[in-house]
Structure 1
Amino acid sequence: MGLGAVTRAREAMAGYLADAGVTVGSAFADAVLLAVSELVTNVLRHATRSPVTNVGITVGAGHLVVSVADTEPRLPPPAGMGVGLLMVTEPATAFGGTVSMETAAGHDGKTVLVRFPMPS
């Protein structure tokens, strides 16, 4: 990982968005890219023991789902949502989306999922 991870994740996600038919540069695409940037930044800041971050995108059933996984077992405290997660939640909500977290099955870690309805 490292400081270039955010840039690499954004560039890869922009390519995936274009492949999914999302107009890069649109407000929707910007919200998705902001979510990716903030989630990867959160891994760099708060999951320092995590050697790997997996960033994914799934498109189907009218939704686009961004996932960012790491190997840090601690979840953020529910009452203490930090600025990074707020910067993910607010644009997701503005587009009718949701943010959730899951612990990893079978190993330490967690995945943050941001679900957006696909624009018409």
Structure 2
Amino acid sequence: MHDALWMGAASLLNTLGMAWLALSQERHLDTVSVSAGHHPTPGPTPDSPTLRRWRLRGAALLALALGLCLWQDGAVFGSLLWLMLLSASALAVALQLSFGPGALRWLLGTSRMSVNR
């Protein structure tokens, strides 16, 4: 039971990290915005503070998940487990962006309007 909780936490961290990394890209951000009823606008600049914050947040969550896997299962199996969870998380986020992008809207919070356009 204890191992399942750690793996679930690492999986959640990986999925959130991949989602924030995806939303820091203009195409995916517009996909989620259009599903929310907003009209597409010219994309944010790659150096906008909000997108940098989302990239940093995503990378930090992925690193935290890696640390959790390494701490729980050691270097060899932990890194393998993290890579498998990372692949599953990337697939889950890609499918969510394809078939139900509105479900990722909560990750945008109120900062959607503050993206430098």
Which one has the bigger helix percentage?
Answer: 2
Superposed pair shares fold, TM > 0.5: no
Structure (1 or 2) with the larger CA radius of gyration: 2
TM-score, normalised to structure 2, is 0.37
> TM-score scaled by structure 1?
0.36
> Going by fraction, where is strand more abundant, 1 or 2?
1
